Chains A and B, each alone.
Chain A
Amino acid sequence: METARGRASSKGGVVREITYRQALNEALAEELARDPNVFLMGEEVAEYHGAYKVSQGLLERFGPKRIIDTPISENGFAGLGVGAAMVGLRPIIEFMTFSFSLVAFDQVVNNAPNMFMMSGGQFNIPITFRGPNGPAHQLGATHSHATESLYANAPGLKVCTPATPRDAKGLLKTAVRDDNPVLVLEAELLYSSKGMVEPPDEELLIPLGQAEVKREGSDVSIICYAQTVPLAIAVAAQLEEEDISAEIVDLRSIKPLDEVTIFNSVSKTHRAVIVEQDRPFCGVGAEVCYRIQKNIFDELDAPIMRVSQEDVPMPYNERLEKFVLPNADKLMAAVKKVCYA
């Protein structure tokens, strides 16, 4: 849990408030400094400092050999990363947005995660694919994809979705060190959001597959991730005024999925609402819901509700886009429904 500015970290250093963008930048810099096999490649990552300025200053510090601009060829450079990983490098491939990763879908889904099985365990692929993911603001249908359920569907991939600067830094560093392909799906709308993070001289690694209770509560579990975490936190405050105590479980990783934290929370509150930033059909919430009912059915006092996007391509019009996205009203209504309030 993040608390007041300036509190001491567990190792005695002083935590600072930094942005999500800075946190990612620190993670990249630290991993590049730690391991000469790590390099960052993508569109505009070097001389432009990243389309979202995540790689600010890295070219100056690490040079053009390790911070590499590419042409607009997502399939090409994603595949280049996979090939480099086959022979022992540890590439970090930036997609300007994961909406563009769809152009490289074959490399991300067919090459990276299949190599280990197909080669009988001879070739694991230590690669990180990262970049902004999820609907931002009025970008229209092609630029608004939330890709987590697409990628979590592919065995061999790991998928994480940090919602805070601390999680962004800790998960990205862990991803780079993982010996499998990992997707770090950054929240496009949260790059400028701030949060408390341990000082740079303290190693911050957050394991993949570990959810975090962002707020404790007793009446209902709101299970969320990425852009829906701040939404859930805001709604929880509103619910408090109506005497409903909501516990917020931030999944942080979609795959592996931390069932224990989910089950513990739902076993305590007996009610669950899943609020996700992606589409409803075959979405992350469907899997979470399946596992809850299968494993702790008797703990439930109400059917599980899901709040997600509407099942339509994203409209440009602001009012329509808001309607399509999960929002506070929808989440409030779902919580009240499971609480019979």
Chain B
Amino acid sequence: MQPVEQRDEVEMLSLMLLIRRFEERASQQYQAQKIGGFCHLYIGQEAVVVGAVAAVRDDDYIITAYRDHGHALARGTSPNACMAELFGKATGCSQGLGGSMHFFDKKNHMYGGHAIVGAHVPLAAGMAFASKYREEDRITLCFFGDGAINQGSFHEALNLIALYKLPVVLICENNLFAMGTSVKRSTSLKQIVDRAEGYDIPGDIVDGMNFREVRDKLSEIVTSIRKDPHPAFVEIRTYRYRGHSMSDPASYRTKEELEKYRLDDPIIRLRAQLTREGKLTNEQFDAFDKKAKETVLASVKFAESSPELPVEKVYNYAYFKGPIEPEWKRREGAPALKAES
């Protein structure tokens, strides 16, 4: 990818489209029982991660919670590797060992995919601590939902981040619901961004349905942190169109509310902006959309035809450098030990 400051908006729009189409296909494949476990879709929130990625360098660190497909795709993880991960295949971005909630891609500086709410915010502190320790100007983007802000680990991490002046952008993707509990029912504050004030961290509110607003605010923050390491907090107001996970019909909200946000769709919005400015034609948009659909369909084929890890390989992933003692070989029902390949 090219230097982010100049990243083409049309390219970013196609990235949002890719995420949208990927999630739609993932939903279909989940219903077809090709995907196991839990599956949380990012549809509606695309402008948040794409706007953020458009504002940082490729070597900046990104870490997020369990609604992570969009973050990996935005970071440059291939749709093939993402879909294969959902299918539990060895070609997945975590070799099929992490699943939907645990996408990792070290090469693209995507540090997970973390499924215990709030538990990755201290990890972000550690990553940023390492940047500061090594005197690098790398920035850590830590994404989390509105549900994370009432978790102890979040508060402990924010205090540490502020205390040690760590270069972290804390990005709260406020989609109004922690599972089925609305922010109003979960949080004593009038607005989430006020959490930051409690730790003396500068905070902003951003419209997460507007790609340009996300990118511009993040760019401003990132430029400031690059000059002098410090934390920042952004509450990005967004909306997920689907339920919390695949099993959630989202009966806790109204059709009218959903419809209101759909009309404010981040993809439609950026498309309209670009069209108005003469930077995008309808034909071009349709071509991008077609390409996104094809890419995603190809990823399903790739995932389907990919192999799974052999069962006995599981022992190689408990410890770096393999099993630490021989007992597992003798446990009842354990497979015969095969030569290491």
Contacts and interface: CB of A to CB of B under 8 A. Distances in A.
B116 interface: yes
B126 A81 contact: yes
Contacts of A89: 126, 129-130, 133
B325 A209 contact: yes
Nearest to A179: B320
A73 B320 contact: no
B104 A116 contact: no
B242 to A, nearest CB: 24
A120 B308 CA distance: 12
Interface in A232-271: 255-257, 259
A83 B160 contact: no
A122 B124 CA distance: 17
Interface in B295-339: 316-321, 324-327, 330
Contact of A116 (B93, B116, B317): B317
B325 A116 contact: no
A256 to B, nearest CB: 4
Interface stretch (B11-19, B94-102, B221-229, B277-285): B94-102
Given A76-B159, A83-B123, A116 B96 contact: no
A117 B160 contact: no
Interface residues of B, number: 50
Contact of B317 (A88, A117, A158, A259): A117
Contact of B92 (A70, A91, A120): A120
A230 interface: no
A71 interface: yes
A86 B127 contact: yes
Contacts of A122: 94, 104-106
Counting chain A CB atoms within 10 Å of each CB, the highest count among B63, B106, B324 belongs to B324
B153 interface: yes
B95 A84 contact: no
Counting chain A CB atoms within 10 Å of each CB, the highest count among B63, B95, B113 belongs to B95
B94 A79 contact: no
Contacts of A77: 122, 156, 160
Contacts of A80: 122-123, 125-126, 129, 157, 160
Interface stretch (A51-59, A105-113, A318-326): A105-113
A18 B89 CA distance: 54
A118 B97 contact: yes
Interface in A321-337: none
Counting chain A CB atoms within 10 Å of each CB, the highest count among B122, B125, B325 belongs to B122
Interface in A158-193: 158, 179-180
Contacts of B87: none
B198 interface: no
A129 interface: no
Given A82-B126, A259-B325, A87 B61 contact: yes
Nearest to B104: A119
Interface in A109-139: 110-111, 113, 115-124
A41 B42 CA distance: 37
A91 B114 CA distance: 21
A291 interface: yes
B330 A294 contact: yes
Contacts of A272: none
A88 B61 CA distance: 13
Contacts of A83: 63, 111, 122-130
Nearest to B156: A76
A261 B125 CA distance: 42
B135 to A, nearest CB: 10
Contacts of A23: none
Contacts of A116: 317-320
A286 B27 CA distance: 46
B316 A121 contact: yes
A121 B121 CA distance: 22
B94 A118 contact: yes
A71 B199 CA distance: 13
Contacts of A121: 95, 97, 316-317, 320
Given A76-B153, A118-B98, A259-B327, A71 B163 contact: yes
A155 B126 contact: no
**8 tightest Cβ-Cβ pairs between the two chains A and B:** A83-B126, A79-B122, A76-B156, A120-B95, A83-B123, A124-B320, A119-B104, A84-B126
Interface of A: 39, 65, 70-71, 73, 75-89, 91, 106-107, 110-111, 113, 115-124, 155-156, 158, 179-180, 208-209, 255-257, 259, 291, 294-295
6 contacts: A76-B160, A78-B122, A80-B157, A84-B129, A84-B130, A107-B119
Interface of B: 61, 63, 92-98, 102, 104-106, 111-114, 116, 119-131, 133, 152-153, 156-157, 159-160, 163, 316-321, 324-327, 330
